[in-house]
Structure 1
Amino acid sequence: MARIAVIGAGLGAMAAAARLAVAGHRVTVYERSGTYGGSLGRHARDGFVFDTGPSLLHLPAVYRDLFVKTGKEPLERCVTLTQADPASRHLFADGTVVSLPNASRAGVTGALDGALGAGAGARWAGFLDRAGTAWDRSRRPLLEEPLPEDPGVLARDPYPAVRRRRVLRSPRQASTLAGIGAWELSDPRLAALLDGYALSYGLDPRRAPAAAALLPYMEQTFGSWYVAGGMRALADAVYERCLARRVEFVFGAEVVRTVEKDGRAAGVELADGTTAEAGHVVVGARPSPELAPGTAGHPDAAPARTPGRFVVMLSLRGARDAGAVHRTVVHTEDGPAEQDAVFGGRVAECPTVTVVRPDDPATRPDEAHEAVTLTATVAPHGPVDWTDPALRERYAGVLAARASRAVPGLGERILRTEIRTPAETEAETGAAGGSVPAPALAGASGGFLLPGNRTALPGLYLAGGWAHPGGGPAHAGMSGALVAGLVVEGDGFRGSR
């Protein structure tokens, strides 16, 4: 079997490595940093433990399949998964509060009716029904199959937008997520709820195609799951599975170039000048002309900088409230202003803030303390100088002040504040501006697709969040499965059936 070099040790890259090793290949992973996991980082200090990336797992079936295909121990033997219920609580600008139950369509409908008024639940349910149709239409080509050479099948938006007649004019229908909020949901709070999903994935609801409706559909249909010990525990489990399958890891090894020979990928060159031969190369980092020459000229090979994350980790005195929920979203009072700033390279003065309060003893030194994480989607480093100490401190204060709506008395409980910005993300991952990749979306003439897993250079493949089908733990895991299938079965591979 072949020797395979994998660049990067994010979830997608490790998922590919484990599957390829099981198929009999000799796999070596080269990671520029000193650890694995990519966006699934962990910060620990004085008994407080924080996730620095996603806090919940969606579509756990992706990792159940990985563990079934790569060993005898299933996923639930390696990590403890519990459904987050409620899945989320939402605080709107007008003071309305609603808690949405996990994976319960009837429960969500009832909660929205109770909080927003009769009819709100039905409008949201109708939207999810249409989103379900979009899911059925696009699931296989968008998530479960390699991106075709001609991705025209994904250029058309699969969301069946409602056609509204206008007097003496032709019918009109929503073409963007913001349009769905305005035309189909007819309530600024429901529109804010929908916009919040887009923003959390780094998408501008004014530009994201209506097909982005798949994102709330997936969360509310398949559920939100908490991994005991934090999401980093999932990265730990995947890493351990790789080791069990004899995958070799080389940390502190920055790959600067994919080596070509006789018209195909033949290995990697490291920053220290050494080279390692390989029959196949898998790029699990953001593609660049040096790492992924086969993507040169691809319209999505070097997408514009997408937003990053501003994270505030709070070590608090005092026990977690009995009525606290895992995830609370404090919505902005001015959505258009926030979107203008985030996607215009400026600081949003009134950001949407996600407050995460895990009910997990592993995240705190004892029951008399609590670890709380605040996150906002922000413009990337570069347009905004996130290394500026004054800006960092001021903006952390802005997030904490807004989060106090979700955690009463927050300011008086803070023992220590630690900050992570897109500048740290860029330094640790190499992603320009600290950008975080969004999931691929159908529609918009293919403008929200990412580079395919196979490239024009034979023997070179792309995995992870910067490749099809995009960012997020579930999508990254899917990319690993697709790459492994292409390597093992060849270009005839069409996805698992």
Structure 2
Amino acid sequence: MIGAGMGAMAAAARLAVAGHRVTVYERTATYGGSVGRFERDGFGFDTGPGLLHLPAVYRDLFVKTGKEPLESCVELVQVDPAARHVFADGTEVSLPNASRAGVVSALGEALGADAGERWGDFLVRAREAWDRTRRPLLEEPLWPNWRVLAEREPYPALSRRRLLRTRTARTLAEVGTLELGDPRLTALLECHALAAGLDPRTAPASAAVLPYMEHAFGAWYVRGGVRELARAVHERCTARRVEFVFGAEVVSVVEKDGRASGVELADGTVAGADFVVGGPPDATAALTGGQDLYGGDAPEPDPAALSCGKVVVCLALRGPRETGAAHRTVVHTTDREDELALFGTGGPPARPTVWVERPDDPLLRPDGHESVVLTATVPSLAHHDWSAAGAADAFADRMVAAAGRALPSLPGRVLWREVRTPVHTERETGAEGGAVPAPTLAGGDGVLLRPSNSTRVPGLFTAGGWAHPGGGLPHAGMSGALVAGLIVEGPDFRGSQ
């Protein structure tokens, strides 16, 4: 196993239970990949995902790999509200967790009854897209005829007649324009794509499943921070006798008789294996001497969808968190066009959308203080020099200013801050340019499909956010399940049950 990210560890635990002897080689000093933690002066911060959606993926992992269920290894808390939203015009709304009726009611009160009803109707259509794509995109290996997934748009867009033309939404932005009809609802819709590093103007309409997942399955916090989920998965692996070797960089995949037979480390050590599981397909191909792992027949994601990273600002705040504060607040940009220019060759936005995480968790802060994390989507290192003098701090200042629209007392409470950019992401996860992988989506000519977990090199597989089924905590867990199934059951494996 190359790398100790969440997808690799999910595969390792399942393979160990199936009787395989598993060794994980990780070039850094720890596990978890992008699910990181920063600690200082008694404060703790999640530097990756702040909430868990679709926890059933990890519940299934723990059920299938031991007697202790997930809830006996970590404490899951369903946050309520799921999120508070502060829109460009100053309108605010708090959306209840996992309640379509509650969300419709809240939006109706804040934005008008028609707005609530339009969002409720949208969620019904989004559910249809989810039902059509959940199994082929999350629970099954990538179909050999994957182009069917690329060509068929699963979102049942409404037909709208405008200026003597009948139009249906093909992109997520068009869903907002043609079906929602309120800039605040459009911002609510698009922020889910933006959080995943997707441009709503080019993301297929099927990206409607992203807000649906949150509304349908809820938003969950892991007590002690989401890093605790990585710890629990790592401990499950070690309990099943998975061996971890940290500080061990794999420099090549060894082949014998036409199949993967082990790995070579930077110190010259060669470790034999019956199967090798790599990380990103491009990086894995490089370890094979640049072979075409898919014989020219694999999805080719849109480069624009691979160009985004995150800036994370960890804030140690003076004074306690006020009673009743929302765990997550989304402060929407006041300049949508400027923000969306970050995709492709644009720079970081002047007025970014900022996600504010304020966990009510004494494990993450000293008594009488508060631990807060701000996150924004930004260009990766391919399009912006985050190592330039002052670049990180200048953007962090803009993020704090934006967050101040929702928390006016924030700037005056800051004891200190830690700013993390795509430079940190690249160094800690190996992701080229510090980019963050988006989840795989159907439709849109396949620009958001990811290459298969199996390759044309016998015995060589790929797991994690850059392989099928793409990025995100739930997707990483499913990636591990798919790889384990393909190894244990062989090419006839048809998916998780």
1:154-169 matched pairs, under 5 angstroms: 154-155=149-150, 156-169=152-165
Deviation string 1:234-293 (CA, Å, 9 cap, x unpaired) is 000000000000000010111121112211111111122221111100113453222364
Instruction: Give the AA of the match of 2:439.
Output: P
Q: 1:345 Cα shift?
A: 3.9
Q: Which residue of 2 aligns with 1:307?
A: 308
Match of 1:311, SS? strand
Q: Structure 2 length as normaliser, TM-score?
A: 0.96
- Does 2:189 match 1:194? yes
C-alpha distance in structure 2 between counterparts of 1:239 and 1:467, whole Å: 21
Match of 1:287, SS? helix
Instruction: Give the AA of the match of 1:359.
Output: D
Instruction: Give the AA of the match of 1:467.
Output: A
C-alpha distance in structure 2 between counterparts of 1:303 and 1:487, whole Å: 29
Asked if 2 retains the 8 angstrom alpha-carbon contact of 1:286 and 1:431, the reply is no
Where do 5+ consecutive residues of structure 1 fail to align? 1-5
Deviation string 1:314-344 (CA, Å, 9 cap, x unpaired) is 1011110113111000000111210112432
Q: 1:118 Cα shift?
A: 1.6
Asked if 1 retains the 8 angstrom alpha-carbon contact of 2:83 and 2:330, the reply is yes
Asked if 1 retains the 8 angstrom alpha-carbon contact of 2:301 and 2:446, the reply is no
Match of 1:179 among 169, 174, 177: 174
Match of 1:138, SS? helix
C-alpha distance in structure 1 between counterparts of 2:2 and 2:133, whole Å: 29
Match of 1:58, SS? coil
C-alpha distance in structure 2 between counterparts of 1:285 and 1:383, whole Å: 20
Instruction: Give the AA of the match of 2:405.
Output: R
C-alpha distance in structure 2 between counterparts of 1:287 and 1:13, whole Å: 16
Q: 1:152 Cα shift?
A: 2.5
Q: Which residue of 1 aligns with 2:126?
A: 131
Instruction: Give the AA of the match of 1:360.
Output: D
- Does 2:244 match 1:249? yes
Match of 1:93 among 75, 88, 98: 88
Q: Which residue of 1 aligns with 2:254?
A: 259
Identity between Structure 1 and Structure 2 (%): 64
- Does 2:140 match 1:118? no
Q: Which residue of 2 aligns with 1:460?
A: 460
Asked if 1 retains the 8 angstrom alpha-carbon contact of 2:356 and 2:374, the reply is yes
C-alpha distance in structure 2 between counterparts of 1:90 and 1:254, whole Å: 43
Asked if 1 retains the 8 angstrom alpha-carbon contact of 2:465 and 2:475, the reply is yes
Q: Which residue of 2 aligns with 1:343?
A: 344
C-alpha distance in structure 1 between counterparts of 2:177 and 2:199, whole Å: 15
Q: Which residue of 2 aligns with 1:31?
A: 26
C-alpha distance in structure 2 between counterparts of 1:255 and 1:475, whole Å: 24
Asked if 2 retains the 8 angstrom alpha-carbon contact of 1:342 and 1:377, the reply is no
Asked if 1 retains the 8 angstrom alpha-carbon contact of 2:86 and 2:92, the reply is yes
Match of 2:374, SS? strand
RMSD over equivalenced CA pairs, Å? 1.3
Where do 5+ consecutive residues of structure 2 fail to align? none
C-alpha distance in structure 1 between counterparts of 2:282 and 2:232, whole Å: 26
Q: Structure 1 length as normaliser, TM-score?
A: 0.96
Asked if 2 retains the 8 angstrom alpha-carbon contact of 1:62 and 1:474, the reply is yes
C-alpha distance in structure 1 between counterparts of 2:28 and 2:380, whole Å: 21
C-alpha distance in structure 2 between counterparts of 1:296 and 1:36, whole Å: 32
Q: Aligned pair in 2 of structure 1 residues 494, 94: CA closer, same or farther (>3 Å)?
A: same
Q: 1:483 Cα shift?
A: 0.5
Q: Which residue of 2 aligns with 1:232?
A: 227
Deviation string 1:5-42 (CA, Å, 9 cap, x unpaired) is x0010000000000000000010001010000011100
The count of aligned residue pairs is: 490
Q: Which residue of 2 aligns with 1:363?
A: 364
C-alpha distance in structure 2 between counterparts of 1:388 and 1:328, whole Å: 30
Match of 2:381, SS? coil
Asked if 1 retains the 8 angstrom alpha-carbon contact of 2:307 and 2:343, the reply is no
C-alpha distance in structure 2 between counterparts of 1:472 and 1:369, whole Å: 30
Deviation string 1:46-79 (CA, Å, 9 cap, x unpaired) is 1100000000000000000000000000000000
Q: Which residue of 2 aligns with 1:51?
A: 46
C-alpha distance in structure 2 between counterparts of 1:411 and 1:121, whole Å: 34
C-alpha distance in structure 1 between counterparts of 2:351 and 2:343, whole Å: 11
Q: Which residue of 1 aligns with 2:372?
A: 372
Match of 1:154, SS? helix
Match of 1:15, SS? helix
Q: 1:167 Cα shift?
A: 4.9
Instruction: Give the AA of the match of 1:495.
Output: G
C-alpha distance in structure 2 between counterparts of 1:94 and 1:418, whole Å: 30
Instruction: Give the AA of the match of 1:245.
Output: R
C-alpha distance in structure 1 between counterparts of 2:296 and 2:427, whole Å: 27
